[in-house]
Amino acid sequence: MTKHIINDLNEISKNLKVDKQGIWRTNNKDRTISFPADVHEVMPELEKFSFWFQHRKRAFIEVLRNFPPLGTIFDIGGGNGFMSEAMLDEGYPVYLVEPTESGAMNSLKRGLKNRVVLSTLNETGFHPGSLPSASLFDVLEHVEKDHEFLESLFSLLMLEGRLYITVPAYNMIWSDKDDFAGHYRRYTLSKLRKLLLSTGFTIDYQTYLFSMLPIPVFFLRTIPRLFRKHPKRDYLQGRKKEHIQKKGLASSLMTAILEREEKRIARKKTIVFGATCFVVAKKGEKK
């Protein structure tokens, strides 16, 4: 593929200006998103040690090697820059587009100066057909009108530009985590595939991740939710405990399963069941 590298966002937008800190901003400071505002305070520590974030990152790097981007990747809703930093470390140019001030500031601390856009996607004013590639890591479930959002993103991508997307899987394992996080829905690969195809994308690759999680999530989160609601402080503390692997047989088994998933993805094989849907799509000629 021909590499399309974006070195200056002024080339593709008239709405953005970079400040002295190295953050590209719009004039709008009053935006509403379906995401808990204080989560970014605990995320950097969580991402560092979490088996979940680390596995998703490693799986994505294998996918990038098999299905490389057309050029610069725009990490939409990229939070604290965890995945953007991973892309840069692997030599892929990236801009992070993040609507929260806390996420943008944390991304600067990761060394993403001049690569952070504090804005929603719609506010950026990116020109149609100007983005070489994009990623949506656990973002689409926070968007009420997901089809309209994907249509907008489709129009912004270059022809043949790739989209890398992950979303939580299976409404049947809906839990207090989804309530707290501001999710509108969970998906299946079939549902996500149909949604992308209806928008005009073609599908290069699809798989599930975290094949060992749906059953314990159902028993430890979904069923208890029917009987009680967890307050926010319990949710945040509980999430820390869930994401840190403890030593022992169960941890060793989990590590083996995750490593097997990564090897399958590296060979372009699929995982048929899991708590996360992962799809690589591409913009073709819209019929």
Q: CATH no. for residue 196?
A: 3.40.50.150
Total count of domains within the chain? 1
What pLDDT, on the 0 to 100 scale, is given for residue 226? 83
Considering the entire predicted model, what is its pTM?
0.92
d(CA 54, CA 255): 11
208 lies in some domain: yes
What pLDDT, on the 0 to 100 scale, is given for residue 233? 46
2 lies in some domain: no
d(CA 37, CA 169): 23
pLDDT values of the chain reduced to their tens digit, one per residue, 287 residues: 558 999 999 999 999 999 999 999 998 766 777 677 677 777 777 888 899 999 999 999 999 999 999 999 999 999 999 999 999 999 999 999 999 999 999 999 999 999 999 999 999 999 999 999 999 999 999 999 999 999 999 999 999 999 999 999 999 999 988 998 899 999 999 999 999 999 999 999 999 999 999 999 999 889 988 886 554 445 555 556 666 666 677 788 999 999 999 999 999 999 999 999 999 999 997 66
What pLDDT, on the 0 to 100 scale, is given for residue 250? 75
What pLDDT, on the 0 to 100 scale, is given for residue 173? 96
| 202: phi then psi, degrees, rounded to nearest 5 | -105, 160
3 lies in some domain: no
What pLDDT, on the 0 to 100 scale, is given for residue 225? 84
Q: At what angle do helices 51-66 and 249-266 cross, to 10 degrees?
A: 20
85 lies in some domain: yes
SS (H, E, C) the chain: CCCECCCCHHHCCCCCEECCCCEEECCCCCCCCCCCCCHHHCHHHHHHHCHHHHHHHHHHHHHHHHCCCCECEEEECCCCCHHHHHHHHCCCCEEEEECCHHHHHHHHHCCCCCCEEECCCHHHCCCCCCEEEEEEECCHHHCCCHHHHHHHHHHHEEEEEEEEEEEEECHHHCCHHHHHHCCCCCECHHHHHHHHHHHCEEEEEEEEECCCCHHHHHHHHHHHHCCCCCCHHHHHHHHHHHHCCCCCHHHHHHHHHHHHHHHHHHCCCCCCCCCEEEEEEEECCCC
273 lies in some domain: yes
Domain that holds residue 204: 9-283
183 lies in some domain: yes
Q: Sign of dihedral through CA atoms 155, 157, 160, 165?
A: negative
